[in-house]
Amino acid sequence: MKIGFIGLGIMGRPMALNLIKAGHQLGVYSRRKESCQAIIDAGAQYFATPKDLAPHVEVIITMLPAPADVEDVLLGKNGVINTVKPGTIVIDMSTISVVATERFAERLAKKEVAMLDAPVSGGEQGAIDGTLTIMVGGDAQVLEKVQPIFDVLGGRTTHIGKLGAGQTAKACNQIIIAETIVAVSEALSLAKASGVDPEKVREALMGGYASSRVLEVHGERMLKDTYAPGFKAALHRKDMHLAVDQAQHVGINIPAATYAMQCLDRLVLKGHGQLDSSAIHLLVED
């Protein structure tokens, strides 16, 4: 397929590369052209703006840090919306709010452009390996058309529901991970403060009901006191604010998620935003 890929950061770059390797024709745009170089070398065509790129492709993928970036690329002065052909499909794989997703989709629909929200989990390694977990919201028939793309990028694609449902699933994902990081962190701190080897405790707990991917992967980071990302605290913080905002919007309280968010706020304020988000453990140990 002819695919436009916008946003070539830590996640977007390996994803775009995998699409080229799988035989797709790629047009790319990034605010910083230098971040496109590896992709251009691999055969992608560079465009100076999203507006220049849009008319040349059937599918446009956005993989950007925040709602404002997605808005700019899709609806801005040099945005996709100005030149996009009817029938084009926009897949936003960024993590943004449901509300923003709905607003962007509504605007695109007026140009007969369908949109899917398809945020991912699995981090840089998942992007490199093409094993991302992809959570899709939007029309099932639209999803069917682009399924081959998801098959390249992800190990597993789940159609969660209507437009925005992918973002809701991602919010749930980020809540659970952040809260489980806090849980593991508190437990390992209790062990250490009690004069007990936290490594032994983690080992004992791994097979039982307390076992989780977080205990396995982030628990090891905490024990080794090494917080190279992984997934940066600053981004996890952003995602937790989206989730807590969404909870307020739909009228429920999620106090433990709010506490985990505040931990990430503190971590970023202390200048640790570039560490893996499991560095929350540095606060509990404070």
- In DSSP terms, 91 is beta-bridged to 61, 116
DSSP letters of 8-23? -STTHHHHHHHHHHTT
The structure tokens listed for 131 are 């094993």
Based on CB atoms, which residue is closest to its own copies, 36 or 215? 215
- In the bound complex, what is the minimum distance in angstroms from residue 48's beta carbon to its own copies? 36
Q: Which of 11, 16, 39, 160 binds its own copies (CB under 8 A)?
A: 160
Separation of alpha carbons 185 and 263, rounded Å: 12
Is 2 in the active site? no
Q: Give the per-residue contact string, 88-127, with its own copies (x = CB under 8 A; - = no).
A: ----------x----------------------xxx----
Of the candidates 266, 248, 240, the one whose C-alpha atom is nearest the C-alpha of residue 173 is 240
Instruction: CB nearer to its own copies: give 186 or 225.
Output: 186
Shortest distance, position 108 Cβ to its own copies, whole Å: 21
The active-site residue, picked from 170, 232, 238, 270, is 170
Quick check: 215 binds its own copies (CB under 8 A)?
A: yes
With beta carbons less than 8 A apart as the criterion, state whether 164 and 102 touch. yes
Could you say which of 10, 66, 183, 234 contacts its own copies (CB under 8 A)? Answer: 183
We find the least distance from the C-beta atom of residue 61 to its own copies, in angstroms, to be 19
Q: Does the protein bind its own copies through residue 74 (CB under 8 A)?
A: no
Using CB under 8 A as the binding rule, whether residue 60 contacts its own copies is answered as no
Q: What 3-state DSSP class applies to 195?
A: coil
Asked if 155 is part of the footprint of its own copies (rule: CB under 8 A), the reply reads yes
Antiparallel, parallel or unpaired: β 120-121 and 132-137: antiparallel
Residue with tokens 């929350």: 280
Q: Which residues contact 76 (CB under 8 A, 6 or more apart)?
A: 50
Q: Which is nearer to its own copies, 30 or 94 (CB)?
A: 94
Which of 196, 220, 225, 226: binder of its own copies (CB under 8 A)?
A: 196
Q: Does 194 bind its own copies (CB under 8 A)?
A: yes
| Beta strand residue intervals within 49-153, DSSP E | 59-62, 89-92, 114-117, 120-121, 132-137
> Which of the stretches 28-36, 75-83, 143-151, 161-169 binds its own copies when contact is defined by CB under 8 A?
161-169
Closest CA to 199 of 222, 179, 230: 222
Contact yes or no for 135/119 (Cβ under 8 A): yes
Task: State whether residue 92 is helix, strand or coil.
Answer: strand
Binding site for its own copies (CB under 8 A): 98, 121-123, 133, 135, 155-156, 158-162, 164-165, 168-169, 171-173, 175-177, 179-180, 182-184, 186-191, 193-197, 200-201, 203-205, 207-215, 217, 243, 246-247, 250-257, 259-260, 284
Task: Give catalytic residues, as residue numbers.
Answer: 170
